[in-house]
Amino acid sequence: MQPTAPLITIAIDGYSSSGKSSMARQLAKSIGYRYIDSGAMYRAVTLYAMRHGMIDAEGNIDTEALLEALPGIDISFRINGDTQSTTLGGEDVESEIRSMAVSNNVSPVAAIPQVRHALVTMQQAMGQQKGIVMDGRDIGTTVFPHAEMKIFVNASPQTRAQRRLAELIEKGSAVTYEEVLSNVINRDNIDRNRKESPLRQADDAIELDNSTMSIEQQNRWLLDRYNEIIARL
């Protein structure tokens, strides 16, 4: 009988629209792990704030009101067969949290230290049993600094904007390449320069630039890294 592989924690960080979520989801499926999209949690908090009038048309956030509401914001994930949806107060908001309106407001919300602390605590609780693949910006540096496998994914802003544009157009959004590129660059800047756990590659993360890789190549590359790490344990 084959010995069962030890359960590990897998942290996949990287820039927005670098394809890390698709890779992370596919890896989790291949190895039977739980997948958590931490960006969806920041997006759900942002949607909550927008719906409750805590973010105005200029993007100013009523931080005090948001922090007061924070303990009552109920974010969860629902699994429907092969797909996973983010829920907010039990409502499926998976599609709404991917809109440009949420994308335009999420980085400043994710820069609020108390928002980060609350979500990091939830994420650490989700990973207590290991056997998890989580993707985000600070998973290998802050959420799971002792993760056995850490990957940092990057691709050029132009490649990432093209990928996000294709996704948005498929969902019926009328956006332009220029709008998406500017959102990608703007979010990179906020994510990299915020005070609280800025986006950076963990010292012990393996880097992947997937600008010229197909989805199949990326998935294969990731599974190979997992097998190497497991073989060393």
110 near ligand DC, rule: CB under 6 A: yes
Q: Is 188 helix (H, G, I), strand (E, B) or coil?
A: helix
- In sequence order, what are the residues at sequence separation of 6 or more whose Cβ sits closer than 8 angstroms to the Cβ of residue 127? 9, 36, 134, 143, 144
Q: Is 4 exposed, middle or buried (0-12, 13-18, 19+ CB in 10 A)?
A: exposed
48 near ligand DC, rule: CB under 6 A: no
Only one of the segments 3-11, 25-33, 135-143, 218-226 lies at the binding site for ligand DC (rule: CB under 6 A); that segment is 135-143
Q: Which member of 24, 138, 161, 180 binds ligand DC (CB under 6 A)?
A: 138
161 near ligand DC, rule: CB under 6 A: no
Q: Is 100 exposed, middle or buried (0-12, 13-18, 19+ CB in 10 A)?
A: middle
164 near ligand DC, rule: CB under 6 A: no
**Angle between helical axes of 38-51 and 100-110 (0-180°, round to 10):** 100
Q: Which member of 8, 10, 16, 54 binds ligand DC (CB under 6 A)?
A: 16
The secondary structure of residue 45, as a DSSP letter, is H
Only one of the segments 67-75, 84-92, 131-139, 203-211 lies at the binding site for ligand DC (rule: CB under 6 A); that segment is 131-139
CB 35 within 8 A of CB 24: yes
Which residue is listed with tokens 């497991």? Answer: 230
154 near ligand DC, rule: CB under 6 A: no
Closest by CA position to 75, among listed 107, 32, 106, 43: 43
163 near ligand DC, rule: CB under 6 A: no
191 near ligand DC, rule: CB under 6 A: yes
CB of 187 to ligand DC, least distance (A): 5
Q: Which member of 42, 48, 144, 152 binds ligand DC (CB under 6 A)?
A: 42
- In the complex with ligand DC, the residue whose CB is nearer, 31 or 44, is 44
Closest by CA position to 98, among listed 190, 180, 26, 27: 180
- In the complex with ligand DC, the residue whose CB is nearer, 98 or 148, is 98
Specify which residues 206 forms β-bridges with.
Answer: 151
- In the complex with ligand DC, the residue whose CB is nearer, 110 or 222, is 110
- In the complex with ligand DC, the residue whose CB is nearer, 137 or 226, is 137
Closest by CA position to 54, among listed 44, 41, 64: 64
Only one of the segments 51-59, 63-71, 105-113, 211-219 lies at the binding site for ligand DC (rule: CB under 6 A); that segment is 105-113
| Interface ranges with ligand DC (CB under 6 A) | 16, 38-39, 42-43, 106-107, 110, 136-139, 187, 191
